[in-house]
Amino acid sequence: MKERGEKFADEGGDVAEAEVQKAGHVVSGRALISDERVMIRREARQFLSGKDDVLLFTGGTGVSKRDLTIETVRPLLEKEIPGFGELFRRISFDSVGAASMISRAMAGVAKGKMLVCLPGSPRAVETALEATLSEFPHVLYVARS
């Protein structure tokens, strides 16, 4: 357990930021929040009322009691993109085998914006973004049509 004032590592977030920048996109902000519904919801709602196009959550997509990201984000979506999670699990299967089935990674759209929920594992974040990031502009185009 971290002591007050001690910095928490966000390795999945570090990888996400690097992958987004490597693809030529801009990271306009980043926050490390706790696995609490109120914090997750606040970030998502703030994003939906802002100017940015894509919000990436890393972590909270497993099956433990503290994994609440999916349940918190899903009600805010206008449309879920089931193929995102299916593709991620299919690609992950090649690396981690059947353990890929416990990831609930997902994506969806709301208000012409894209919300993406990824596992917190740096390797999983890299796998997901390398496979899907190039399609995000198309998702946004279609969502805004």
Cα–chain-centroid distance for residue 141?
A: 19
Segment 113-117 mean pLDDT: 98
Segment 53-74 mean pLDDT: 96
Distance CA 68, CA 10 (A): 18
**Beta-sheet strand order (sheet of 54-58):** 54-58, 113-118, 106-110, 79-80
Lowest mean pLDDT among 8-12, 62-66, 102-106, 109-113: 8-12
Report the pLDDT value the prediction gives residue 4, as an integer from 0 to 100: 44
Average of per-residue pLDDT values in the chain:
93
Assign domain 11-20+32-143 to its CATH superfamily.
Answer: MoaB/Mog-like domain (3.40.980.10)
Q: What are phi and psi of 7, to 5 degrees?
A: -80, 135
Tokens of 45: 């709602």
